[in-house]
A and B are shown apart, each in its own frame.
Chain A
Amino acid sequence: MPSDRTQRAPIGLKIAAAAGLLFLHLPILIIFVYAFTTEEKSYVWPPPGFTTQWFAVTWNRPDVWEALTLSVQVAAISTVIALILGTLCAAAISGTSFFGRETISLLVILPIALPGIITGIALRSAFSLAEIPFSFWTIVLGHATFCVVVVYNNAVARFRRTSGSMIEASMDLGADAFQTFRHVILPNIGTALVAGGMLAFALSFDEVIVTTFTAGQQQTLPIWMLEELVRPRQRPVTNVVAMVVVIVTFLPILAAYYLTRDGDQIAGSGK
């Protein structure tokens, strides 16, 4: 029947879509499979045998733990900085109108549009010019540049949908600025902040380029993996770590997606 034909995609399109999805995700699956291989010097397909010993090996490698700890710390602190600065910036941009507002808005967003390598080089030369030694904090600063943008973008969209008269209503009913923030603003922008924070965390956790320019001797997890690939020693350990990285970054992004998905209704539009 004709109506059936219009509802169903042609078989060619289905194959193309399946091929596209496979092309995107099959390599990731192969990485996962290599985490269980018995061959440790090189990647051989098909794997000669399967073992779970690499999980134990990885667990007992102190360098993995060091890199993981560093990455989590950097991502956590960058996210906290981004949450504070990004929210304040979004509040200022959306709450008032002043000369150059759009320019400032663009300048805040710019770091995420710039190639990471340019951000990296710029920060590195700025740090050496100011004679700031590379440390944990220089990595955090580098990551904060793009984490702020993610939080800002999420927060500014929500602020724009929160009607200004709601804040006035709160003050009118006797709430001071702090109470208004706690009882009205925070509940309305909360999910946007959680989503922005999770995206920021995920971005920071797998960042390589800016980190190479702003880190000293420390290795974040992605940098550690890059180094491991050059030295073939217990190769499947890298794959085990890769699996962990995928899970650690994928879960917050998924959560962020679900948190902002239903946010289409306009907060505070009373009509």
Chain B
Amino acid sequence: MTPAVSFTKVSRHFGSVRAVDAVDLDIVEGEFFAMLGPSGSGKTTCLRLIAGFEQPTSGRIEIFGENAVGVPPYRRNVNTVFQDYALFPHLNVADNVAYGLMVKGVGREERSRAADEALALVKLPGYGARKPGQLSGGQRQRVALARALVNKPRVLLLDEPLGALDLKLREQMQEELKSLQKQLGITFVFVTHDQGEALSMADRVAVFNDGRIMQIGSPQEIYRRPATRFVADFVGSSNILPPDFMQRYAGQRRWGSLRPEHIRILAQTAGDGVPARVAALNYLGAGTRVSLDAEGLRLHAVVDSGGALPSPGDDVVLTFNRDHVHVMDEPA
């Protein structure tokens, strides 16, 4: 099947800055694809390359098999939900939503019917006559979504769309976006720096760093089997185990990662294990995060808050199942 979006060795340099550096990427039609990374990692530039706001310095971009290099934004069947929503302040909500149809010359009646439908889809029916200035942040977000969806794009791009919302609204919108995507069957490409958001919403995640893709995979793959130290560190809060440590306790001289929930803390008298000292406790609710100093490393373990907790300064031993240690691709 032809991928919805395909990057072949795509680079975008700004002067000496390599914002996007030789990226290869295939986004499958109908999937919810997240581009995850810290700010400045190139994820937003990749999104802007798909939208057409940026042109690649080199490489090939195809959208549904057609060359997209040199094609202006207004000739792409791709729409964007902007981070700051970018609603037109001089138009009311209905005219904002119908803007794309208006510039394409769609008649007034059909336009207003389509705008009403799109507003109903994002659960804002009857808001057409209001001005963007009269809406809350969450409502503007929905208008921005309706304005993009009314054009029936084959790919919808979302640039950190939930960044400006408070936690509760954000969780609600995450669910709604996810079900909207299933309902419409459109390819969603979602940019975020929030790993929780990426893991919970996406079918596949690309982790960006320094203009390159570190790893592409399902949330489970990314979380359980991070390819590099960067991914292990950025996605969740894995313990990164250097080759020397790995050789002594896991039997091979490679970089490894171990999730905090897989470390067991035992009293020193229990015998075999990694000797460690408890540095601090952080209560997280259901679990408590224990910071430990072991072999010159700072490790984190998450233990059940209901169980027996060690105290800071205690000498303990750590044990873990070797099967839980993930050996990374990164050379030692």
Contacts and interface: CB of A to CB of B under 8 A. Distances in A.
A163 B74 contact: no
A187 B90 contact: yes
A168 interface: yes
Contacts of B147: 169, 173
A172 interface: yes
Given A188-B89, A267-B89, 13 more contacts: A169-B87, A170-B88, A173-B79, A173-B151, A174-B104, A175-B103, A179-B103, A188-B90, A268-B89, A270-B84, A270-B85, A270-B144, A271-B84
Interface of A: 163, 165-166, 168-176, 179, 183-184, 187-188, 265, 267-271
Interface string B66-90: 0000001110001110111111111
Interface residues of B, number: 33
Contact of B74 (A165, A174, A188): A174
B211 interface: no
A261 B68 CA distance: 45
A172 B73 contact: yes
27 contacts: A163-B84, A163-B86, A168-B51, A168-B80, A168-B86, A169-B86, A169-B147, A170-B103, A171-B53, A172-B52, A172-B73, A173-B74, A173-B99, A173-B147, A173-B148, A173-B151, A174-B74, A174-B100, A174-B104, A175-B99, A179-B103, A267-B90, A268-B87, A269-B84, A270-B84, A270-B132, A270-B140
Contacts of B122: none
Contact of B80 (A169, A179, A187): A169
Contacts of B132: 270
- Which A-B residue pairs are the 8 nearest by beta carbons? A270-B85, A173-B100, A165-B86, A169-B86, A175-B103, A171-B73, A187-B90, A270-B84
Nearest to B98: A173
A183 B103 contact: yes
Interface string B81-122: 011111111110000000110111000000000000000000
A187 B148 CA distance: 21
A172 B84 contact: no
A188 to B, nearest CB: 6
Contact of B82 (A168, A188, A265): A168
Given A168-B53, A183-B99, A175 B74 contact: yes
Interface of B: 51-53, 72-74, 78-80, 82-91, 99-100, 102-104, 132-133, 137, 140, 144, 147-148, 151, 164
A267 B131 CA distance: 12
Contacts, number: 88
Contacts of A168: 51, 53, 73, 80, 82, 86
A174 B86 contact: no
A125 B79 CA distance: 57
B84 A165 contact: yes
A188 B144 CA distance: 19
Contacts of B52: 171-172
A173 B99 CA distance: 7
Contact of A171 (B74, B91, B151): B74
Nearest to A267: B89
B88 A166 contact: yes
Central interface residue in B72, B85, B102, B151, by most chain A CB within 10 Å: B85
Contacts of B79: 172-173
B82 to A, nearest CB: 5
A107 B100 CA distance: 40
B103 A165 contact: no
A171 B53 CA distance: 9
A266 B219 CA distance: 40
A164 to B, nearest CB: 9
A174 B82 CA distance: 15
Nearest to B157: A172
A163 B87 CA distance: 10
B3 to A, nearest CB: 21
B164 A165 contact: no
Among B84, B85, B89, B137, the one with the most A-chain Cβ atoms within 10 Å of its Cβ is B89
A188 B83 CA distance: 20
Nearest to B143: A270
Contacts of A175: 74, 99, 103
A124 B88 CA distance: 47
